[in-house]
Amino acid sequence: MLSHTDIFTYLKDFVHTEDEKWATLNGPAKSTLVETVTLNGRAVPRYINEFWTARQRQASSIQEISYRACYKPQLPRFFINLLTEPEDLVYDPFSGRGTTIVEAALLGRNVISNDVNPLSKILAAPRLAVPLLPDIMERLSQIPPDSSTDLDLSMFYHPETLAEINVLRNYLTRVKEANREDDIDRWIRMVATNRLTGHSKGFFSIYTLPPNQAVSAERQVKINLKRNQQPDYRDTGMLIMKKSRSLIRNLSAAERENLQKACPSAIFLETDARHTEAIPAASVQLTVTSPPFLDIVQYSQDNWLRCWFNNLDMTQIEKNITMAKTVEQWSLVMGDVFKELYRITKKEGWVVFEVGEVKQGRVKLDEHVVPLGLQAGFACEGIIINLQEFTKTSNIWGVGNNNLGTNTNRIVLFRKN
């Protein structure tokens, strides 16, 4: 773990190992572009480079869970390795699919997850308690038939597939209501939730949009007409097993052991990130998070089918999700989040606040975030911009396929003195 005085040098001099190899044949390797920006009268260093992703080690297969608006696992890994030691506490107040939490657990850290959307825990917690493949197969074979439903989903599923989905849904509902849901059931729920719809044969549905962008029933009817397609039969049990094998395909014995160690003490909260009384003061070494961005992600549209499968009231959930329409509204909420983060962060602990790009780079939320952290009491150690295929001559606000902000991470790094 680097001290805060070493962070500047590390970021400034950062060069990929692959770049070093390339440089021996082709000249000097690319190094970080360092700028200084003045925000609220304070000079803040900005580091621009390709710190992770394109040439980083492959992420663990256990992270391959589709979800809208999520960053790559290499992002939290970079900061977890840099700013924590084994068994330190890592937190994410807007956990989403659980990328930070799972990555921290893989690296032997303790974890706390928070997200007002219950889908977050459904997608994240089971990956800390990975069951054996034969146990998953046996449990699937033991589920009793009960396919009753009152929802027409014939535009997505073949009748036999839909019957199997309802068998799963009704079984999982019963065991949860009876407080008998175990790690195997939770794993099956997680995988099935992830396989509900998609654009390949690996999903339960006929061709539709990618699985992080579920469409309405009405729109799916139009997709079917346009493509002249009808739902074909998909074997749900076979697809659950196929995805299960894929999720653990490169999981090492050490990583599996780390997940198992993190699981008993892992905390999964479903509360407002401004009010996390369950987290003790001065207990968190590192927070890595990416908050909701203004109103660009429509959670109810993306998650209505997942919520149906898991008997969740999406209307109620959406009321609790921050969907600010202006930067000013967003900043008011995030200002209170930073106050709570300051309370729970240890002395010399860190907050990594990723804000991507919104409105095609016209709104630079990182420059709005810096004052919020300072007002809460943090020191701002810099802004980090991670670019794929970084070059010093790049137009950093509009690199080719970067127009939607999908390949650029904009991160503000804070420390508690």
User: What is the C-alpha separation between 301 and 216, in angstroms, rounded?
Assistant: 7
Which positions ≥6 away from 145 have C-beta within 8 Å?
167
Between residues 377 and 50, which one has the greater pLDDT? Answer: 377
Residue 26 has pLDDT above 70, yes or no: no
Lowest mean pLDDT across 10-14, 187-191, 379-383: 10-14
Q: Does 345 reside within a domain?
A: yes
CATH number reported for the structural domain that contains residue 271 in this entry: 3.40.50.150
The predicted-structure confidence for 269-285, as pLDDT tens digits, reads as follows 999 999 999 999 999 99
Across the chain, mean pLDDT equals 87
* Residue 399 included in any domain: no
Question: Is position 404 within any domain?
Answer: no
- Tell me, what amino acid is at 38? T
pLDDT at 399: 39
Report pTM. Answer: 0.90
The answer to whether residue 353 sits within a structural domain is yes
In a domain? residue 400? no
Between CA 164 and CA 173 the distance in angstroms is 14
Identify whether residues 73 and 160 lie together within a single domain: no
**Mean pLDDT on 125-152:** 92
Q: Do 356 and 380 belong to one domain?
A: yes
- Domain containing 241: what range? 133-247
Measure the CA–CA gap between 186 and 268, rounded to whole angstroms. 14
CA distance 358 to 213: 18
For residue range 107-130, list pLDDT tens digits in order. 999 999 999 999 999 999 999 999
**CB 190, CB 282: distance < 8 Å:** no
Q: Are residues 243 and 257 in the same domain?
A: no
The token pair that represents 72 in the structure block: 């790559």
pLDDT of 292: 85
Asked if residue 310 and residue 193 are part of one domain, the reply reads no
* pLDDT band at residue 5 using 50, 70 and 90 as cut-offs: confident
What's the rounded mean pLDDT across residues 57-75?
A: 85
Domain end marker among 218, 247, 276: 247
- Looking at the structure, tell me whether residues 122 and 259 fall in a common domain: yes
Separation of alpha carbons 344 and 349, rounded Å:
10
Helix spans in 270-392 (H): 299-309, 314-320, 327-344, 365-376
Length of the chain: 417
Alpha helix segments (H runs only) across 84-182: 99-106, 119-124, 133-142, 159-177
Residue 300 in tokens: 């109810």
Task: State the pLDDT at residue 19.
Answer: 47
Residues 57/255, Cβ–Cβ less than 8 Å = no
Q: What is the mean pLDDT of residues 214-230?
A: 93
Angle at which helix 365-376 crosses helix 327-344, to 10 degrees, equals 40
Task: State how far the Cα of 102 lies from the Cα of 76, in Å rounded to an integer.
Answer: 10
Same domain, 238 and 346: no
**Pair 124, 264 in one domain:** yes
Please say whether the beta carbons of 77 and 275 come within 8 A: no
Which of 25-39, 303-317, 389-403 shows the highest mean pLDDT?
303-317
Q: Is the model's pLDDT at 28 over the cut of 80?
A: no
Domain identity same for 122 and 270: yes
Question: Do 123 and 263 fall into the same domain?
Answer: yes
pLDDT per residue over 359-387, tens digit each?
556 678 898 999 999 999 999 999 999 88
Backbone angles phi, psi at 16, to 5 degrees: -65, 145
Domain count, the chain: 2
pLDDT tens column, 152-184? 999 999 999 999 999 999 999 999 999 999 999
Domain identity same for 199 and 322: no
Burial class (CB in 10 A: 0-12, 13-18, 19+), 257: exposed
